[in-house]
Structure 1
Amino acid sequence: MRWALAFVSFGLLCSQQVLCTLTPDNKAKTKQKDSKYLRGPQDLDVFGLDLISPEPTAKDILMHHNAYYKDTSLRNFNSTVLGYVTPWNSHGYDVAKMFAKKFDMISPVWLQIVKQGDAYAVAGTHDVDPGWLTDVRRKGKVQQQAMMRTVKIYPRVIFDHFTDRDIKLLLSEVNERTQLNEVLIKTCKEHGFDGLVLEVWSQIAGRIDDKILYSLVLQMAKDLQKQQLRLILVIPPHRKDVPNIFGEKHMDKLYKHVHAFSLMTYDYSNVQRPGANAPLYWMRKAVENIAPTGCHDMQAKRAKILMGLNMYGNDYTPDGGGPITFGQYLELLRHVKKPLTHDERDVENFFEIKIETGRHIVFYPTLYSVHERIKLAKELGVGLSLWELGQGLDYFYDLF
């Protein structure tokens, strides 16, 4: 890959980390520079403006990123779309309302399961915003034939500060799981949630017998379903270093009981292994690993897979670097004078610059890379899960 050549001499350079927070003076200058760029609802979408290019220009991105098509009810992707929202990224709350009709499900990252003595409790409910939930549901209403459909709310829940003893007890005792599920159901009922997104598989799979882990997920799914609530399970993608942590056999056991599977097809690369955020061929393999072409009930299984799509990128520097969201990306993009490079193998865009803060190689989604992944989802017959709303550029949502 072309970007790999840049790393040959990358480690020989010295630089400072890119500043993630703008000073007040810089913010004022940025606002002044942004005044000439398009913003808010527009008469043409990104298709009409012909902005989807394998090698987009920095000028076009800066000009159009903050604009979007005025009819936000228009959907170009008709399979299931789940959008994650986090308390630490407030713009995500706005995005969820602005484009509510493009989503089937919203998952606020709010909740943690904790132990209080021998009892289970749900922490994080202080983040629940009833007014925002009402707005999202109201703006997400869509008339479908004779029925009114609205966006569903599935907060994500994780196990927090559980000891090995806590986990062992929960997994080995049916009555412990029953107590936990009763607490979760009560929380859903109190706040009007439609179900939960459970993130646990990556944390404990491989450390325990699969049968015990099945018991936790299946009992939770069934107990929730009895109360007209649904469970979405977060699952890891196939990797060579952790083969079959979630594979076809797991899918066969769970797919009839779990409402959907949020597949974490992002974070393929990192500071130790710089490169593309989520190569297209790898995303395809991740789906085919759990629901191979021609397998039993393939269509039903794939319809429940929500292929993960990252809305953030990575900025690699000689000191390491790390993930970046749209604000940092746009600041770096202002220094780019030529079209962004297209990596044909990974089907992603990146650019390389050397500025006062040092040298940067930046991988971040573009209209082209997002559009190619939507095309892949359509081809495979899967849905999408976006991590996370508010990290990407507003005009991305024209694509969905």
Structure 2
Amino acid sequence: MDKIMLHFLAFILVSLTSSSEVSVENILSQHNICTEPFKKKFSGEVLAFLTPWNSKGYDYALKYSAKIDYISPCWYQLNVYTVYGYKLEYDLLGEGNKTFIEASKDLFKILPRIILENTNTDDYKKLLESDEDQVNLSEKIKNFIISKGFAGVMLEMWTQGNGILRNADQKEYLRSFQVRLIQKICRTMKANNLMCMITVPAPRPNYRVEFSMGEFLKLSKFVDRFALVSYDYSQISPGPNSPENWIKSCYKELVDQIDLSDYDEEAAESMHLKYMKQLMLGVPFYGYEFSPLDKPNQYTRHSTRAITGNDFLQLLEKNKMRVEWESAHNEHKFSYKIGKNEIIAYFPTKEMIESRVKLAEKLKTGISIWELGQGFEYFFEAL
């Protein structure tokens, strides 16, 4: 048999062992391979979060910078508190990675995440009800971003604010003030040619509304991009982390039901496209492992553990793993047994990432990745 025929047969074999026949062996042998690191395939924007506690993300960001438009490092937190019994103070705490900033300054736009933490209900209500404090906070964030030379800010305060207000009187009324707070911050940023993005929870079936279509519309004039947290779907019982059918329903709920009847057909399509481009489909680079509890309770029969790429490799190496592609969710399910107990894991594969990229292309949205340092290099093949 000549060399041409051998190469042809090898090509056919590789083609046949693609998404339908993912195996433990090909994950172990291919997870750290990306054949086109300098070519971006996805036509939309890509935002990637990175964290200091998964430092591999810094290396991936630099290595695959051609595929990334925005980086949001999780370096800073915002604390709001009262001093002297009446005066509100707002601290921006944390420290950036100067080496990474210097190495990446010409590669992509950096918008650090600022997360709202260590703030009680009374202090947050004061902030929401005070125009002066909102202006002061907006100026503080703007000046901080300018002083560091960043392109803008990623605000992670919507879900945190909802949590702070969970047991507050008039919480829906105060939530409307939360919209105004974010509008003020973003208006200040944009007036200084800085970008303003926020993270928002994805709508969940049979669950309280954490972020509504109306709130999206009120913020869309001020916020450049919305990073949709379309993962963490199954945290109590075994199930997919980011099922594709759920993601599709999120976009229907947030955008497809917006009333555009006042526009002609062409203008309505343009507005719909504008809204979709503001949204960034959340793609997880991590997964979950579910183990049966010795003593199940009324809430769950399983313990849940978030797992990174390194954790997942150890599971594959140490256990006889069964691999299934769940076409209803477009995710792979992994399972193995310890005695009579079945342990189940859902972790992204290259095929799952490819599926989400195709969906984002179809929806005409961007992609936001949580988070770089937890995943595998072959995930970047699809981007």
TM bucket (normalised to shorter chain) is: 0.7 to 0.9
**Is the 1:66–1:393 Cα contact (8 Å) retained in structure 2?**
yes
Q: Which residue in the other structure is 2:97 paired with?
A: 129
Partner SS for 1:186:
helix
**How many Å separate the matches in 2 of 1:256 and 1:308?**
21
Question: Residues 172 and 357 of structure 1: is their aligned pair in 2 closer, same or farther, counting only changes over 3 Å?
Answer: farther
Partner SS for 1:346:
coil
Using the aligned pairs only, state the percent identity: 29
Question: Residues 48 and 166 of structure 1: is their aligned pair in 2 closer, same or farther, counting only changes over 3 Å?
Answer: farther
Question: Residues 47 and 263 of structure 1: is their aligned pair in 2 closer, same or farther, counting only changes over 3 Å?
Answer: farther
Listed as ranges, the gaps of 5+ residues in structure 2 are: 1-10, 261-270, 294-302
Question: Residues 399 and 115 of structure 1: is their aligned pair in 2 closer, same or farther, counting only changes over 3 Å?
Answer: same
TM-score of the pair, normalised by structure 2: 0.83
- 1:316 is aligned to 2:290: yes
What is the CA deviation profile of residues 321-354 of structure 1, one whole-angstrom value per residue up to 9, with x for unaligned ones?
3110011101111256576211121111112112
After superposing the two structures, state which structure 1 stretch, 286-295 or 182-191, moved more: 286-295
TM-score of the pair, normalised by structure 1: 0.80
**How many Å separate the matches in 1 of 2:134 and 2:111?**
20
1:372 to 342, 349, 355: 355
Letter in 2 for 1:227: N
**Is the 1:52–1:367 Cα contact (8 Å) retained in structure 2?**
no
**Is the 1:80–1:383 Cα contact (8 Å) retained in structure 2?**
yes
Deviation at 1:358, TM superposition (A): 6.4
Listed as ranges, the gaps of 5+ residues in structure 1 are: 1-45, 141-150
Moved over 6 A (4+): none
**Is the 1:287–1:307 Cα contact (8 Å) retained in structure 2?**
no
**How many Å separate the matches in 2 of 1:331 and 1:387?**
21
After superposing the two structures, state which structure 1 stretch, 357-366 or 75-84, moved more: 357-366
What is the CA deviation profile of residues 86-133 of structure 1, one whole-angstrom value per residue up to 9, with x for unaligned ones?
111111111111111111100000111124633222101x2x122211
Counting only pairs closer than 5 Å after superposition, residues 1-400 of structure 1 correspond to structure 2 as 50=15, 52-69=18-35, 71-115=36-80, 117=83, 118-124=88-94, 126=95, 128-138=96-106, 140=107, 151-205=108-162, 207-209=171-173, 210-270=175-235, 272-292=236-256, 296=260, 297-319=271-293, 320-335=303-318, 340-355=323-338, 359-400=342-383
**How many Å separate the matches in 1 of 2:286 and 2:340?**
21
**How many Å separate the matches in 1 of 2:248 and 2:201?**
14
Deviation at 1:315, TM superposition (A): 0.9
Letter in 2 for 1:120: Y
Deviation at 1:357, TM superposition (A): 12
**Is the 1:121–1:183 Cα contact (8 Å) retained in structure 2?**
no
**Is the 1:55–1:349 Cα contact (8 Å) retained in structure 2?**
no
What is the CA deviation profile of residues 281-300 of structure 1, one whole-angstrom value per residue up to 9, with x for unaligned ones?
00111122111078531100
Q: Which residue in the other structure is 2:264 paired with?
A: none
**How many Å separate the matches in 1 of 2:183 and 2:79?**
20
**Is the 1:105–1:152 Cα contact (8 Å) retained in structure 2?**
yes
Count of equivalent residues: 340
CA RMSD of aligned residues (A): 2.3
Deviation at 1:223, TM superposition (A): 0.6
